Amino acid sequence: MADKNCIEGWRQYNADMSAYEELRDDVLKDAEKAGLSAKRLNTLELGVEEIAVNIISYAYENGGSLWVRTSKEDGFFKLEFVDHGKPFNPLAEDMRPTDGVPSVEQEEGGYGIFLVKQFFASVSYTHEEMFGKMSNHLTMELSV
């Protein structure tokens, strides 16, 4: 469930799959209000799924929270994710398929973030203090 008592525009969700649909729906509603086209909404949904599901699946050992904030700035729909899980920069390595390496020999993982980096105008990561703890903070911008 989202904590509707938002801090500075942030929505707080439990970092588990039971909260995913509400998180996704909240972000897509914000994007519709911001004027994103149906094609952009599909791209946004891909990005939300990739990032949120990875945080839910890997950030915490024993549960935790995930914060999301959206805004429209300078022709971009901005989406931010924050968690207090294990420090992890998904942008540190490019794990896209390697040319000439058969798909059965390629390492698993990394394809989703590769697609996010391809479809979004910008994606950035910082590890900084937010909400009283050190946090993973991922920001994605999609042109409107």
- 19-46 pLDDT per residue, tens: 999 999 999 999 999 999 999 999 999 9
Contacts of 37 by beta carbon, 8 Å cutoff, 6+ apart: none
What pLDDT, on the 0 to 100 scale, is given for residue 5? 46
What pLDDT, on the 0 to 100 scale, is given for residue 114? 86
Place of tokens 């203090």: 129
pTM: 0.86
What pLDDT, on the 0 to 100 scale, is given for residue 3? 47
Distance, CA of 80 to CA of 45 (rounded, Å): 14
The answer to whether residues 112 and 58 touch, using CB atoms and an 8 Å cutoff, is: no
What pLDDT, on the 0 to 100 scale, is given for residue 79? 98
Query: Domain spanning 3-143 has what CATH number?
Result: 3.30.565.10
Kindly list the domain boundaries of the chain, sorted by start residue. Answer: 3-143
Listed as own residue / partner, the contacts of 29-33 with beta carbons closer than 8 Å and 24 or more positions apart are: 30/70, 30/77, 31/70, 31/77
Distance, CA of 121 to CA of 143 (rounded, Å): 6
Contacts of 102 by beta carbon, 8 Å cutoff, 6+ apart: none
Query: pLDDT 10s per residue in the chain (144 long)?
Result: 454 445 679 999 999 999 999 999 999 999 999 999 999 999 999 999 999 999 999 999 999 999 999 999 999 999 999 999 999 999 886 556 555 555 555 455 567 888 899 999 999 999 999 999 999 999 999 999
Alpha helix stretches (DSSP H) within 59-95: none
Rounded (to 5) percent helix, strand, coil in the chain? 35, 35, 35
Strand-pair partners of 69: 80
